[in-house]
Amino acid sequence: MDALRTRRCECGAVDCDAVIEMTWAEQDEVDHADGRWVVLPGHEPQGGRSWRTVQETDRFAVVEVEEAHS
């Protein structure tokens, strides 16, 4: 398995200070998909109109977020 790197949870909760561990390949895959956020399993994204989980592991969840438009 590739080395794990740390990344902040992207749930957007004001009090969230969770850290997620991902490989470079996992991070790269998520970062190149518009509207996808990486959150700690069990965390719900804040600020989007709606969201759905598209991938979940024991270390992180990838959620697809429909942004709220003003």
Confidence tier at 70 by pLDDT (50, 70, 90): low
Cα distance between residue 12 and residue 23, in whole Å: 22
**pTM given for the model:** 0.85
Give me the pLDDT at residue 67, please.
Answer: 76
35-69 pLDDT, tens digit per residue, is: 899 999 999 999 778 899 999 999 999 999 987 66
